[in-house]
Amino acid sequence: MVRQRKRKAGKILGVIGICAGVAAGGFGGATVPTWLGTVVESESGSPQRTDAGLASAIVKAVELGITPLDGAREVNPAVGPSVKTVHGTLKHVELVPVKGGTAVGGTISADGSTWSTLEPLAFNTEYRYGFTVVDGAGRETRKTQTFITVSTPNEADAAVFPQDGSTMGSGQPIEINFSEPVADKAAMEKAVKITVSSGQEVAWRWYSDRKVRIRPENFWAANTSVTVDLPLFGKDFGNGMIGNSNVKGTFKTGPQRIAVVDDATKTMKVFIDGALVKTAPVTLGSPDWLSPTGYAVIMEQERHSKFNAGNIGLKPGDKGYYAPLVVEHANRLTNSGVYVHQALPSAYGAVGAYNVSHGCVGLLPVDAAWFFNNMRTGDVVQVLNTGAPAVEPLEGFGDWNIAWSSYAKR
- pLDDT of 318: 80
Per-residue pLDDT at 9:
42
Domains in the chain: ranges and CATH: 63-150 (2.60.40.3780), 154-253 (2.60.40.3710), 257-406 (2.40.440.10)
Q: What is the pLDDT of residue 176?
A: 97
Q: Which amino acid is at 323?
A: A
Burial class (CB in 10 A: 0-12, 13-18, 19+), 202: middle
165-174: pLDDT as tens digits = 999 999 999 9
Q: Residue 51: its pLDDT value, please?
A: 53
Looking at residue 241, its pLDDT comes to: 96
Residue type, 66: I
Q: Which pLDDT belongs to residue 15? A: 36
How much is the pLDDT for 18? 34
Q: How far apart, in whole angstroms, are the C-alpha atoms of residue 399 and residue 404?
A: 10
The low-confidence residues of the chain, meaning pLDDT below 50, are: 1-40
Q: Closest Cα to residue 344, out of 326, 359, 366, 323?
A: 326
Quick: pLDDT tens for 269-321: 999 999 999 999 999 999 999 999 999 999 999 999 998 877 778 888 887 77
Per-residue confidence (pLDDT) for residue 244, from 0 to 100: 95
Long-range contacts formed by 310-313: CB under 8 A, 24+ apart: 311/337, 312/336, 312/337, 312/358
Q: Give the per-residue pLDDT at 57.
A: 59
What pLDDT is stored for residue 29 in this prediction?
Answer: 37
Burial track 73-90 (b if 16+ CB lie within 10 A, e otherwise): eebbbbebbbbbbeebbb
- The pLDDT score that the predictor gives to residue 373 is 98
